[in-house]
A = this chain, B = another copy of it.
Amino acid sequence: MSAEIFNTDYKLALNAALSIEVFHNFSLVHDDIMDDAPLRRGNQTVHEKWDVNTGILSGDAMLIMAYQLFENYEPEVFRDLAKLFSKTALEVCEGQQYDVDFENRDDVTIPEYLKMIEFKTAVLVGAAMQMGAIVARASEVEQQGIYSFGRNLGIAFQLQDDYLDAFGDPKTFGKQVGGDIIENKKTFLYLKALEFSEAEQQQELQDLFSISPTDSNDKVQSVKNLFLSSGAADATTKEIENYTKQAFSVLETLDISTDKKNLLKAFGENLMTRKV
């Protein structure tokens, strides 16, 4: 879509798009080892189906193959794609390290959390969109613009993910509603609730978040009530709107037709009103 926005046949962008997809799956294979996750998309994870060594090694191979997908582009496009890819891939690794570190930390701040989801998720959305612009030989300013659109939308998307995990409709939300709460994950909702609460509610929330994931029958509703009463739920909705608006405001600066701006807006709005 990004290539088309800059007047280039989307087919030219397919190898770059595929590279993003292979990279994303590489990161899932290695993350699943780190998180000791048995399932992914309803199937056994790679290290579970074979073994950890196979998971490490096939992940490594996928990372290399993601670079190989740039090889059919001409040299300058190849270099621009690979440079952006490397920068982004390192940030995703850094985001994953933050995520691992945060599990054992009780003093994670909101800016740190936002940095983590920016690196772990949002930069890849930004990079994917910029790659379309690179393939289309768009100017540096246009490239930065579409990157910024994707990055802001990516942060909004991830905050939305946190929100839906607690307040999504079980009928339409793909994952278990309350999963993050059961796993004691320090999401934006949790950090905001702590920030907004008095000492008593803070203690209550922290106590609820010390309950083991295997023993959490009544926990989800209590935590959700605290998320609502503290104002954290509203604050999260607002933050999602802020990042979405920031994404849209970047669009205004781009020298593309109104039709194309509306296309990108529709994409963003669709992403932000999703229930799944």
- Where the two chains meet, the residues of A that have a C-beta atom closer than 8 Å to any C-beta of B are 30, 33-34, 52-54, 56-57, 59-61, 63-65, 67-68, 70-71, 75-76, 78-79, 82-83, 86-87, 89-90, 93-94, 96-97, 100
A96 to B61, CA, bound (A): 11
User: What are some 26 contacts across the A-B interface (CB < 8 A)?
Assistant: A30-B56, A30-B60, A33-B52, A34-B52, A34-B57, A56-B56, A57-B96, A57-B97, A60-B60, A60-B89, A60-B93, A61-B90, A61-B93, A61-B94, A63-B64, A65-B86, A65-B90, A67-B82, A67-B86, A68-B83, A70-B82, A71-B82, A71-B83, A78-B78, A78-B79, A79-B79
B78 near A56: Cβ-Cβ < 8 Å: no
Please tell me how many copies of the chain the complex holds. 2
The closest CB in chain B to the CB of A34 belongs to: B53
Do most interface residues of chain A lie in helix, strand or loop, or is the interface mixed? Answer: helix
B60 near A71: Cβ-Cβ < 8 Å: no
B86 near A64: Cβ-Cβ < 8 Å: yes
Min CB–CB distance A134 → chain B (angstroms)? 13
